[in-house]
Structure 1
Amino acid sequence: MTLYAPSNDPMPADGPKVVPAATLVIFRNAADGGPPELLMVQRAREMRFAGGAAVFPGGRVDPADRELAAALLPSEPIELASARIAAIRETLEETGLMVATHRPVSAEEAAQGRLLLLERGTLAPVLEHFGWDLAPERLVLYAHWCPPWDKGFDTRFFVTDLGTGAVDVTVDATENTRLFWTSAAQALDMTARGEIAVIFPTRRNLERLARFASHADALVDIRRHPVERIHPRIETIEGEEWLMIPDGHGYPVRGQLKAAADRG
């Protein structure tokens, strides 16, 4: 199986049958002037994927996301365009935060939009009802992870910036149990103390995000490391199995012992 494939191309037909998904890393300025804060959600323990873990908002790409993406972003590869739409939709559904619109959306309006989204199940009627005009280009592709096994999540990671971060968010209380803002370094400290659990891709991305003093720093790093699919794999190092990612993608830590790695 090919280990690297252009990020906007579908998986090879003879490769694993994976599930398209999207994740959004949302930056906001810290009130104390410290490192930027990121929005994370803690998943309900009964969830099949990453149950109980702290993750970034996101989820699988639905057929309706592809339809909306084809209409709004006809010149962009459909896999990338539909992932952008899914990231926006999942963020509204999971957190009550509406991102990537040309005009600001108030907390009250976003709450109403979330209710309509939960009722209708798709984003298009919500956009039409409220007259929201999306600016999906505000979601910048940051990374692309795909485990090389069937039913793995072929996930595109995006970053976006809220600036001052004067927003209201509310947990959806179904898939997730908690929302919190934290810097990447603080999230890693919380993980080390056992206060939260994170899966392998989240840990690697937190380590990379902890290097950035701002959203602008993240964009510079993205330009240095063109996005390609990252396929975690098992390597034997000094007689022990490690879960590793290839070098060259901008990650300061490439892996950890397989026995200690939660793959989700």
Structure 2
Amino acid sequence: MSDDAPVRIASTMMLVREAPAVEVLMVKRNQAIDHFSGAMLFPGGKVEPSDLDPAWRAQVEGWDDIPESERGPRISAIRETFEECGILPAVQGYRASPGDTRALRAAMDRGEASFLAYLQQHGLRPDLRSLSLFARWRTPPVVAKRFDTYFYLVQAPAEQVAQADGRETIMVEWITAPAALDMAARGERTIVFPTRMNLSLLARAGSIADAIAAAAGRPARVVEPVVELHGDKRFLRLQAEDGYGPALEPLLF
């Protein structure tokens, strides 16, 4: 695979709550979806052109405090979280019922409603500053589908209820990071390498405040696993400076 393979910008949201231990919301991808089908993931997806609409400048809080390269990914993470699990994070005053939320998400999926237009109509202003950049991963060049993915952490609004969309996501689950890692190790959950590694970082935090502080203290770095050949098999290795500890993962695609 050439280094010239296109790299799509994507984002994913680590939505957390204290219950009382830190739990993170994970979604199960529909088996019919090509990318990461059947896996447990954080909600997220590709940054879409609508996430880059200049009209967002007047609709969000913190526009000038966020680097230009991160505005689209942060908006995308908020939108994807709403579309995939029905929770609207980083917004004060959202009080729609679960039924109304389902109807809006369905209309958005059919192209009959716009996320930006809905927020404009209801005076809802996401605060981009409330998202903490947790990590950034880039797919190595040997993989056909490459992504440059921003992982964000945000506290879940207590009054909202998570619900799968039934199309891209078929299940939602609040779970502690150690429990998710244990289930993956036992083969009870399929959790892909970047997600597992960021769960391992989250597992070190005793509170949401600890997780936010740790994220703020990590050096800004794009994690791009190195591909190594061991015998006739390829593996992904993380570097010491990536901050996750030793990790060697079979490359299965």
TM-score bracket for this pair, using the shorter chain length: 0.7 to 0.9
Whether 1:215 and 2:205 are equivalent positions in the alignment is: no
Q: Residue 32 of structure 2 aligns to a residue in which SS?
A: coil
TM-score (norm 1): 0.83
Task: Measure, in 1, the Cα distance between the counterparts of 2:121 and 2:57.
Answer: 20
**2:25 partner amino acid:** L
- Give how far 1:76 is off: 3.4
Is the counterpart of residue 195 in structure 1 residue 188 in structure 2? yes
**Unaligned regions of 5+ residues in structure 1, if any?**
1-13
1:138–1:46 Cα change, 3 Å: same
Q: Which residue of 1 aligns with 2:79?
A: 89
Alignment of 1:1-264 (within 5 A): 15-30=4-19, 33=20, 35-67=21-53, 68-71=55-58, 72=60, 73=63, 76-108=66-98, 110-118=101-109, 119-120=111-112, 122-149=114-141, 151-162=145-156, 165-236=158-229, 241-252=234-245, 254-258=246-250
Q: CA, structure 1 residues 239+91, in 2 after alignment: closer, same or farther (shift >3 Å)?
A: same
Aligned AA for 1:81?
A: R
- Residue aligned with 2:189, SS: coil
Partners of 1:120 and 1:156 in 2: CA distance: 28
Contact map agreement 1:225 1:249 (CA 8 A) in 2: no
Worse overlay, 83-92 or 240-249: 240-249
Specify the SS of the correspondent of 1:19.
strand
My pick for the range that moved more, 100-109 or 211-220, is 100-109
Deviation at 1:176, TM superposition (A): 1.3
1:40 touches 1:55 (CA, 8 Å); kept in 2?
A: yes
Q: Which 10-residue stretch deviates more, 96-105 or 135-144? A: 96-105
Structure 2: distance between partners of 1:56 and 1:262: 21
Cα RMSD, aligned residues only: 2.4
CA shift in 2, pair 1:232/1:182, >3 Å? same
- Name the CA distance, whole Å, in 2 between partners of 1:187 and 1:142: 18
Identical positions, percent: 32
Q: For 1:139 and 1:154, how far apart are their aligned partners in 2?
A: 18
Task: Write out per-residue CA displacement over residues 127-184 of structure 1, whole angstroms, 9 at most, x where no aligned residue.
Answer: 0222212112111111110113253111100000127x34311111111111110000
Q: Distance in 2 between matches of 1:203 and 1:180?
A: 15
Number of equivalent positions: 243
Determine the C-alpha separation between the residues in 2 that align with 1:221 and 1:101.
23
Deviation at 1:69, TM superposition (A): 4.4
Structure-2 separation of matches of 1:134 and 1:117: 18
Structure 2 CA distance for aligned equivalents of residues 184 and 16 of structure 1: 33
Shift, 1:206, TM fit: 1.1
Q: Secondary structure at the match of 1:82?
A: helix
Matched residue type, 1:65:
D
* Whole-angstrom distance in 2 between the partners of 1:241 and 1:116: 43
What CA distance in whole angstroms lies between the structure 1 residues aligned with 2:46 and 2:116? 17
CA contact (8 A) 1:66 1:78 kept: no
Deviations 1:233-262 (A, max 9, x none): 21357997431122223313x42341xx55
